[in-house]
Amino acid sequence: MITTIAIFLPLLGALLMMLLPASFGERNVRYVALGVAAVPLLLGLYIYLAYGANLGAGALSQDVTWIETFNIGYRVGLDGLGFGMFLLSALLTLVAVVAAWDVQRNLRQYFAILFLAEVGMLGVFAAQDLVLFYIFFELTLVPMYLLVGFWGDENRGPAAIKFFLYTFLGSTVMLAGFLAFGILAGTFSISGLDAGAGLGGTAQVALAAPILLGLLIKVPAVPLHSWLLDVYVSSPTSTNVMLSGILPKLGTYGIIKIAIPLLPQGVQPFLPYIAALGVLNIVYGAFVAFAQPDLKALVAYSSIGTLGFILLGAASVNAVGLNGAVLQQVTHGLYSALLFILVGVIAARTGTRQIAELGGLMARMPWAGGLLALGALAAMGLPGLAVFVSEFMSIMGGFEAYPIQGALAALGIVLSAMYLLYMLAGVVFGPVERPEFERVEDAGPVEMTAIVPLAVLLVVLGIFPGLLIGIQRPAVELVLAAIGGS
């Protein structure tokens, strides 16, 4: 029940935002939205503290029959695979509300739509039924389309529909796989479908193919990523937080939670290719990021690149790799949200996102510049920061299963260090590029409120990764048991 409440509270929040009178001041609207966004996060933290020890293999579940004929149910519950992302979704929504300073018009509607998307995100990470999973999965689509299409920059219209078409294609293909799977197996309950529910190898491969394809488009895995850059670059900062922090994980989480444990024989032949796609993401993302003149595009490609570690770790199907992948979902969300917000701050202060035009910001913006450096160091996997732990585990696991892919992924870390250091040198350090930069202000208290928690978490999880790994380990073991890995 508490899970259901946490999922649907933002829906009430969305209604509340719409009911606020138009005379309500902009500032007050922001405070109300902050309050609404805080509630699911507090509930999530309460769940972590009160039930953390039992969460691993699954807890706080609810099972209500929905469509008896096909054994479809409203089944939700939290487990170690999804809880980290569940918590992160609530956290990043709160961060996005704070970071919505560049949203000026129709603020109430912006927050209402953001909360609607949050329902979908929370729901995906708690769904224990294939149909319900798909419904929550798709519930994020229209809100994100509206957020980009209404509040984005000049190019927002084409970017929004491109995003919609590509990801809808992916999710519909996935849906067809889900529905056929449930019909063949006689249930849609995720626990009832464990290890293929007795389906033969051929059937599993035939089902895994559309499901994996759909999920990989959502991630997106290179070369299925062409929709992504436009929508990232066109979005307002706070939408970027959700787009990069949560949405790709809907895809990777689907692979870890559904494709691998439910169709173990089906995914087996695809795993080496998924690992290879992960490496392709890492290497391609790094190279293309290097060539970007626009700071936001660079961060976008960096974000695509490091998603590759999740794919590599998941495809390794061993304890180290899978744990790394599950953790990387959270750490990736933390660092990419941090970087996108800082790009927003810098662009707002300096009036440009072109790396060539920026430079020497450290002198006038020590906080923003310093935190950008922290985020970049996290992105390149500096030991002591959270991303290092998860990337290292993913590479270890990947190397164990696929030595070539693992070795190439390690090379990817070097590549990412190159472009990130180059970026830092061009933006933060060096001589002050333009005289007007002498007058820019550092990040203010509102901006810092959005940024600091992410930075703190990157450090804390870097030192104590056990805070999350402890919860996810039992769930990862169940996945391994389903696929017969070690």
Binding-site ranges for another protein (CB under 8 A): 65-70, 131, 134-135, 138-139, 141-142, 145-146, 149-150, 156-157, 160-161, 164-165, 168-169, 172-173, 175-176, 179-180, 183-184
Give the DSSP H or E segment for 67: strand 59-67
For residue 17, which amino acid is it? M
Exposure string for 426-442, b = 16+ CB within 10 A, e = fewer? bbbeeebbeeebeebeb
Query: Closer CB to another protein, residue 123 or residue 305?
Result: 123
Least separation in angstroms between CB 138 and another protein: 5
Least separation in angstroms between CB 157 and another protein: 6
Only one residue has tokens 């180290």, namely 320
Query: Closer CB to another protein, residue 27 or residue 105?
Result: 105
Its sign, for the CA torsion 391, 394, 400, 402, is negative
Least separation in angstroms between CB 250 and another protein: 14
Least separation in angstroms between CB 25 and another protein: 21
Query: Closer CB to another protein, residue 147 or residue 380?
Result: 147
Least separation in angstroms between CB 197 and another protein: 14
Only one residue has tokens 């293909």, namely 173
Judged by DSSP in three states, 365 sits in: coil
Query: Closer CB to another protein, residue 146 or residue 334?
Result: 146
Query: Closer CB to another protein, residue 158 or residue 366?
Result: 158
Judged by DSSP in three states, 173 sits in: helix
Query: Closer CB to another protein, residue 68 or residue 486?
Result: 68
Longest dimension (CA), the chain: 71
Q: Residue 355 and residue 294: Cα distance in Å, rounded?
A: 6
Least separation in angstroms between CB 175 and another protein: 8
Q: Residue 115 and residue 90: Cα distance in Å, rounded?
A: 10
Q: Residue 467 and residue 433: Cα distance in Å, rounded?
A: 42
Q: Does residue 233 contact residue 269 with C-beta atoms inside 8 Å?
A: no
Query: Closer CB to another protein, residue 173 or residue 339?
Result: 173
Least separation in angstroms between CB 190 and another protein: 17
